[in-house]
Structures are given as structure tokens and as C-alpha cells.
């Protein structure tokens, strides 16, 4: 986020283990293994000088954010990363005004004020599929609401380091989460999903705007992606590879959901296939999560699931003081 990070912000594996033993860090989480940084959507072409030159030029052109700050509704938000807005709106721009109704972007406050009061949009131009306690979700088809979805992707890129979808939105559905109050509909974040994924990916990209982060909205959208997957009669998984932050978010989500279901289930030990059917999770994600939790072990050549109540309660303890914004499936009008 364009700031120097001091040594005090880093922890070692030994410090992590100490935090775990003191109960200050979830026992099921670990530091991610080091791996090469990969840019989503870009093919790997080793030993191709022309491609490597293009990569260097792209990195050089986009390593510094081009828009310093945006005004979106009631918030002024500092931007984090480069976003490929048209040059007219992104070269040496200290402040960009974005209409929270239609996501149109403007350089002038006067233009913004004039547009906002004339804007015909009242919210995302899609189907309202969820409404409860001031939270609304709109489903948009990229091919139909093309301009809005393109503007949404440009906005998202200001807060996402690696994202390559900007203008080709036709193959995707977009699920936009909004807060609703007496003053109107306010976009909070979204996730996108391929209409037809050969790998059964049920989430391609997810972003929560900075003013709304740390409220559980990311988990809320992940929960929505799996509820839709279940209703499709399928199993799904997020698009790979996951970022480090994405991996932590999903590991925590999978762990909580699986532990909660196992604790509430019968004493009969379920198979991975049964758990997959109930949750919509891919069997490989379930297996990996249960293994990381120490619940899935090898015994005489067989995988055995430990469902001891005391063990499950102990693993759920780190989640007790966390407040989650939970999706109510009864309020989801989908399909």
C-alpha cells in the first residue's frame, strides 16, 4: 500500500508458535510457504525474451499508483494500486470522483455533483437476489450490464494488486453487495464468477472497499458463492492460485464451516463425499483443511477423521470472539 514496512511488522515461525501456544493465533493457521508471485490470467512463458520484455514494461508502467484518492459516496478513500482508467482520468490525478450509483468517474467536483443529481441509477443495474437487515445483493450479467461491470473492475483494481480483468466482462456474473439505508444504496464490494468454468471455480475475484473492511463482508460473499454452488447441485472452489491473503481467508472460512457442521452432526463419521454434498466444498479443499486442523490422519493405510467433541470444541475456541456477518439462505432469491 505504498508504505515502508518495518521489521517489527514481521514474525518468525518460532514467534508464531509462541502466539499459538498463548492462544493469540488460531492453531490451524500457519505462515504461507514461499512461492513465486504469479500474475493471474497471464500465461507462463519461460525463456521467451519478447514476453519477458513485455512483463518488465508492464511492471514499470503499473508499479506506481496513478490515482491518489477517490470520492465515493460519503467516503474519501486513499487508493492502493494502479488502475488502467483512460489516460484523461488517470494521469497525475490527485482526486477522482466516482458516482456510487452507476460508478461513472469524473475529474471535476462540479461535474460530479451535476451528474449525481441527474443519475437515473438507484443501485447496481441487476437483479436483487438478497435483502435483509440493510444488506442487499444484486446479480449482474457482464454482457448485459457491461459498462457498470467494467467500471466496477476499474474501481476494484485500485485496491487489488494482481487483477487482469478490466474490459472483457461478458463471460462473468458479478454479485455486488450493498448497504441500504434512508439515503440510498451504497456499494460495499463484490465477487465475480465465470458463467462456465471448466475447473468448477465458483469465485474468480473478490474485493471489499476499504471503508467496509473488517466487518465480515468478505466471508459473507464467500458464503454466498458456496450457497449458489450448492443450489446448482455442484461443488466449487475459488480460482487458483490464491493470494496469501485469499488463502488465509479461505482457510479460516473452510475451517469454521467444517468444524461447525461436524460438531452439530451425528456421531456417525461422514465421508468426504457426504461433507462435500452438504457444503458445496470440493473434496480436495475439505481434505486439505481437515488435515491442516489435525483431524484427518492415516491409520493402517486408511484416512480416519477424528470427531472427538473435545477436539472440535478446542479448535472452534479461537472463533468464539469473532463476529461474522452471516448470510441467511432463506432470504436468498436464487435462481
Active centre residues (catalytic): 239
Largest CA distance in the chain: 73
Backbone region of residue 121 per phi and psi (left: phi > 0; alpha: psi in -120 to 50; beta: other values) = beta
Residue with cell 451528474: 115
Pairing of strands 201-203, 237-238: parallel
d(C-alpha 209, C-alpha 77), whole Å: 9
CB 231 within 8 A of CB 248: no
List all residues 6 or more positions away from 177 whose beta carbon is below 8 Å from its beta carbon. 135, 136, 137, 187, 188, 189, 190, 217, 220, 221
Provide the phi-psi class of 2: left if phi over 0, else alpha when psi is between -120 and 50, else beta: left
Q: Which of 215, 212, 173, 214 is nearest to 196 (CA)?
A: 173
Helix axes 217-231, 244-264, angle to 10 degrees: 60
What stretch of H or E contains 269?
A: none
DSSP string, 199-218: T-EEESEEEE-GGGTTSSHH
- Find out whether 35 and 326 touch, Cβ atoms under 8 Å: no
DSSP secondary-structure letter at 155?
H
In terms of Cα–Cα distance, which of 91, 81, 87, 85 is closest to 104? 85
For residue 335, is the peptide bond before it cis, meaning its omega torsion is within 30 degrees of 0? Answer: yes
Q: Which three cell numbers stand for residue 125?
A: 443495474
Amino acid at each position: 500500500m505504498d508504505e515502508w514496512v518495518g521489521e517489527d511488522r514481521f514474525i518468525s515461525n518460532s514467534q508464531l508458535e509462541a502466539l499459538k501456544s498463548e492462544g493469540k493465533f488460531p492453531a490451524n493457521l500457519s505462515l504461507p510457504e514461499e512461492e513465486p508471485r504469479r500474475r493471474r490470467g497471464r500465461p507462463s512463458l519461460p525463456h521467451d525474451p519478447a514476453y519477458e520484455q513485455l512483463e518488465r514494461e508492464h511492471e514499470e508502467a503499473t508499479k506506481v499508483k496513478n490515482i491518489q484518492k477517490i470520492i465515493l459516496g460519503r467516503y474519501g478513500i486513499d487508493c492502493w494500486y494502479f488502475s488502467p482508467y483512460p489516460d484523461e482520468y488517470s494521469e497525475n490525478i490527485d482526486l477522482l470522483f466516482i458516482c456510487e450509483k452507476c460508478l461513472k468517474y469524473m475529474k471535476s467536483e462540479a461535474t460530479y455533483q451535476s451528474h449525481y443529481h441527474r443519475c437515473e441509477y438507484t443501485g447496481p443495474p441487476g437483479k436483487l437476489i438478497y435483502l435483509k437487515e440493510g444488506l442487499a445483493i444484486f446479480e449482474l450479467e457482464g454482457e448485459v450490464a457491461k459498462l457498470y461491470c467494467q467500471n466496477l473492475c476499474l474501481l476494484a483494481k485500485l485496491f487489488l494488486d494482481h487483477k487482469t480483468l478490466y474490459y472483457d466482462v461478458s463471460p462473468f456474473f458479478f454479485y455486488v453487495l450493498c448497504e441500504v439505508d434512508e439515503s440510498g444504496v451504497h456499494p460495499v464490494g463484490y465477487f465475480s464468477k465465470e458463467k462456465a468454468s471448466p475447473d468448477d471455480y465458483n469465485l474468480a475475484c473478490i474485493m471489499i472497499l476499504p471503508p467496509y473492511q473488517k466487518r465480515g463482508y468478505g466471508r459473507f460473499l464467500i458464503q454466498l458463492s458456496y450457497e449458489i454452488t450448492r443450489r446448482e447441485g455442484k461443488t466449487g472452489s475459488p480460482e487458483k492460485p490464491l493470494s496469501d491473503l485469499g488463502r488465509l481467508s479461505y482457510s479460516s472460512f473452510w475451517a469454521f464451516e467444517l468444524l461447525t457442521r461436524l460438531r452439530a452432526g451425528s456421531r456417525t463419521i461422514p465421508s468426504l463425499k457426504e461433507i462435500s454434498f452438504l457444503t458445496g466444498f470440493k473434496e480436495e479443499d475439505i481434505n486439505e483443511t481437515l488435515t491442516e486442523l489435525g483431524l484427518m490422519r492415516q491409520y493402517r493405510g486408511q484416512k480416519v477423521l477424528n470427531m472427538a467433541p473435545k477436539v472440535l470444541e478446542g479448535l472452534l475456541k479461537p472463533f468464539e470472539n469473532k463476529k461474522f456477518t452471516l448470510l441467511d439462505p432463506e432470504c436468498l432469491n436464487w435462481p
